[in-house]
Structure 1
Amino acid sequence: MTMTRRNYIAGMAVAAAVTMSLPTAAWADTLKMGLLVPGSVSEEGWNRIGYNALKGVEKELGAQVSYVELQQNPASFEKAFRDYASQGYTVILGHGFEFQDAALDVAPDYPDTVFLISSSYIHEDNVIGLNTDTSQPFFLMGLVAAKMGKKAGLVGGMEIPPIQQAFEGFKNGARSVDPEFPISEAYIGNFSDTTATKEAALSMIAQGVDFLVPNASGATIGGYQAIAEAGKDVGTFSIFSDFTEVAPDNILGLYVADYAQGVVKVVRGIQEGDVPSGNVEFGLKDPEVMKFTFRDDVKNPVPADIRAVVEEVKGKIAAGEIQTRAR
């Protein structure tokens, strides 16, 4: 059984994907879920996470699912939401903060559809934000950077809240070790220009950065390419997905978001008629969703004493004893 895959084109109706024999949902004969992603799901990283979440709902809840790959075009966001909602989709996931405004515009016209928005704190009627607090694992990365390096660099896609909050966590983690620890920060202005990410990273490395983390959705890989080219003296962490093949000698550990587990939990509740009453936030307290691990097979692994500190801090963050960003 295979999924029909079509890119979204303005004026074209959304194409439905696999159909299965399903259990009865709370208010529909068939649970139908659509996904909007700001790029290609074929690449490791942010868009693949959204796709995996959709496939998780298909597998575990027996849903009929469909997805569209979009460019950064708000008009196309609204059209895709309307196409899915008009076809009776129970849940539509806009995978990224940039989908929030379009969902808010469309949702009042489709009160029986639940609009989920990744990396968003919104909760307004049937529009619900699903936020993975990436400031928490980034806090741990910053702590490691300050203990092992001399200067850190952060390369982001666009200066939007989810990336700003992740970088805030990194800076707070580093400065919990050394308040004067130097950190460079830059944004390339989009999520697709791999070359721009690479050039920004190389520029930082040339200026003495020895620990660097890129966070630019589909363009993130450019940062890892720069790190690999720079040699073994630059450390990093793989974020969202596993990029160790790109920079095997540099990646000290991984933050992997198994977002699918969180989305399945939320959609299962919706299927049973239990729509979240507020914004949903996942963090280190949800180990099935947020995984932070170290690599032992790297040439210069994180030392045992630093790992012990990280584990202690990780527990305190999960318990709410350490705040990783401003609330």
Structure 2
Amino acid sequence: MQRILACFGMILLCLFTLSACGQTLGTGELKKAGLLVPETVNDQVWGTKGYKGMLKIQSRFNVDVYYKEGMNSEAVVQRAVKEFDQKGVNLIFGHGNEYAEYFSELSSDYPHIHFVSFNGNATQKNTTSLNFDAYAMGFFGGMLAGHMTKTNHVGIIAAYEWQPEVEGFYEGAIFENKDVEVDIQYVWQWDDVERAQMLLDDMIAKDIDVIYPAGDGYNVPVIEKIKEQGLYAIGYISDQSDLGESTVLTSTVQHVDTLYELVAEQFNKGKLESGNLTFDFQDDVISLGEFSPLVDQKYIDSLNEKIETYKQTGKLPK
């Protein structure tokens, strides 16, 4: 009987050890995490990605997570940070570049909190800015557009001039197709759907047949209209193949949720760096999305080989 009990105890000990090794225990630096978004987490693109990142952090580290929508001014951000602090949050993500400035002002008042923003300039010791090196993803998306256009005329509906993916898309399309013309128009906001659709109408009138709507606040309605016209789109931020596999040739995907989990892991280990950090294909947080069945497999294989070469060497096709 004693032998049976001893064996049973050993089995329980082994099961406990395997369970402990298979999960991240809540013994690191991360206590609770918070997310601030300027608009909503239900936009199917940027905000939704941030929300999914919070869910990954919650599942991975077994900590409470919180989010607040409509955080679009310094005053509301100040109130939200104070509330998060009272809840015991010590890692706060600001889901946009506007938060870098807000966090810089707040950081000295909350030295026990680490503030993370996007595409900004983090200057304090407890602030970090995450930056996607988006040129390459634009380049490969542009290559596909140059390959698939029938009119040799593709278009970019960009939010701002500074977007590296816009320049990359232009260069990639020209690299792939020496005869292609690239029309670039600017919305000057991330979410001005009316202006974006007006620019789309202009592109349709110019016989442009592949369009890259590079703005997360307007790309879904723009792609829906492209679909109605029987034209092609390159999706942006999310894998948007679900909007129409005969419309969306592929998407330039930024895996924000994966990056959030990576950042939380570094913070939990006490290894999250302050300052401005850059991420690309090599970090597995940028990729192309699902390809349309209209794209020939031989070309897909060739493009994937070029992406793999870029991941290994950091060099784009020449």
1:127-138 matches, within 5 Å, as 127-138=127-138
Matched, 1:68 2:61: no
Aligned residue for 1:285, secondary structure, equals helix
Judged with a 3 Å threshold, the aligned counterparts in structure 2 of structure 1 residues 61 and 222 are, in CA distance, closer, same or farther, namely: same
- Give, in whole Å, the separation in 2 of the partners of 1:235 and 1:108: 49
In structure 1, the residue matched to 2:154 is 152
In structure 1, the residue matched to 2:252 is 255
Judged with a 3 Å threshold, the aligned counterparts in structure 2 of structure 1 residues 180 and 117 are, in CA distance, closer, same or farther, namely: farther
Judged with a 3 Å threshold, the aligned counterparts in structure 2 of structure 1 residues 314 and 242 are, in CA distance, closer, same or farther, namely: closer
Using the TM superposition, give the Cα deviation of residue 321 of structure 1 relative to its aligned residue in structure 2, in angstroms: 3.6
What are the superposed Cα offsets for residues 167-224 of structure 1, whole Å, 9 maximum, x if unpaired?
Answer: 1211121222346632222222333333332222222122121110112223221210
What are the superposed Cα offsets for residues 246-305 of structure 1, whole Å, 9 maximum, x if unpaired?
Answer: 334211123333322222122122122222255332211133x32324435x4xx22234
Q: Is the 8 A contact 1:194 1:221 kept in 2?
A: no
What are the superposed Cα offsets for residues 56-114 of structure 1, whole Å, 9 maximum, x if unpaired?
Answer: 11110112111111264344334433443465421100111122111111112212211
Matched, 1:295 2:291: yes
Aligned length: 291
> TM-score scaled to structure 2, two decimals?
0.82
Judged with a 3 Å threshold, the aligned counterparts in structure 2 of structure 1 residues 74 and 190 are, in CA distance, closer, same or farther, namely: farther
Matched, 1:25 2:28: yes
Matched, 1:313 2:306: yes
In structure 2, the residue matched to 1:96 is 96
Aligned residue for 2:217, secondary structure, equals helix
In structure 1, the residue matched to 2:164 is 165
Identity %: 23
Higher helix share: 2
Counterpart amino acid of 2:124? E
5+ residue gaps, structure 1, are 1-21
In structure 1, the residue matched to 2:235 is 238
Using the TM superposition, give the Cα deviation of residue 139 of structure 1 relative to its aligned residue in structure 2, in angstroms: 1.0
In structure 2, the residue matched to 1:9 is none
Q: Max radius of gyration: which structure?
A: 2
What are the superposed Cα offsets for residues 119-139 of structure 1, whole Å, 9 maximum, x if unpaired?
Answer: 346353111111222222211
Counterpart amino acid of 1:307? I
CA RMSD in angstroms comes to 2.5
Judged with a 3 Å threshold, the aligned counterparts in structure 2 of structure 1 residues 153 and 85 are, in CA distance, closer, same or farther, namely: farther
